[in-house]
Amino acid sequence: MNSRIPLFAANWKMNKRIADVSPFMVKLNQGLQKLSKKAGSDFEVVIGPSATHLAAASQAVQGTPIELAAQNCGHAKSGAFTGEISPEAIKELHCPWVILGHSERRHLYLEDNGLVLRRLKAAWEEGLKVILCVGETLPQRKSQQTTKVVEEQLQILKGFSPSQENLVIAYEPVWAIGTGENATPDQAQEVHAFIRGWLKQVFSLSLSENTRILYGGSVKPENSKDLMGKPDVDGFLVGGASLEAESFLGIIENGLKSRG
């Protein structure tokens, strides 16, 4: 038996005003209270606002089950790194999670696996929990390189001893992000199963069985039930559809329906 509690994470990217944060959290929390009674099973919710919004978000989620994620973190504890966000300060804001290796960071800001590795190291040294994003572009998929690319992105984990508590993997095919075209449940399942197999081969059966693997890329209330109906899809990393509490709640509610 695995111990994978479904996880629903929101990636707000560079959206929302700071003033929007508190009303959103109030609405989300009310919805979550109702949902947890209805769902009857456990699940976790993580919201990833911009770094500028984390302090307000941190206050707003006090006393709720909602946890926070930063969208990136610096590769060192502190120092002369203009524009970077220190993992130490993220922790200080009571934000336990950080998203690393998002495809927008990789493609728009040219973060390569080496840099993601250094950020990962800094995050784990600070005790942050990491959502590591992996995924292929459309040309890579078309030329049958999906698993090769995903494996290369996973390789950075090799020097560490990750645990099911401090690591979540998000499979986000680049062609599905913000395009309205999600991977089919079968396409997602195929890559998730590959990732789980890789974790078993490189680390252990226990890590492989207990690590949550999220799907991301045009997730919405209309497709979350079918996607989560697949055995290796343990939740989502949601961009656009996480910006309104109603649609994010719809994703969670429908996703959990697949769990009976």
Catalytic residues: 102, 172
Please report the sign of the dihedral spanned by the C-alpha atoms of residue 242, residue 247, residue 252, residue 256.
negative
Tell me the residue number closest to ligand PGA, measured at CB.
Answer: 239
Nearer to ligand PGA, 11 or 208 (CB): 11
Nearer to ligand PGA, 15 or 36 (CB): 15
Nearer to ligand PGA, 194 or 248 (CB): 248
Q: Which two tokens stand for residue 171?
A: 């499979």
The 3-state secondary structure of 225-252, one letter per residue: HHHHCCCCCCEEEECHHHCCHHHHHHHH
Q: Which residues does 35 contact at the CB level (< 8 Å), separation at least 6?
A: 249, 252, 253, 256
List residues near ligand PGA by CB under 6 A.
11, 172, 177-178, 216-219, 237-241
Q: How far is the CB of 260 from ligand PGA (least distance, A)?
A: 25
10 Å Cβ neighbour count for 103? 24
Tell me the C-alpha distance between 218 and 220, whole Å: 6
Q: How far is the CB of 165 from ligand PGA (least distance, A)?
A: 22
Please report the sign of the dihedral spanned by the C-alpha atoms of residue 163, residue 166, residue 168, residue 174.
negative
Which helix (H) or strand (E) segment holds residue 190: the answer is: helix 185-202
Nearer to ligand PGA, 16 or 200 (CB): 16
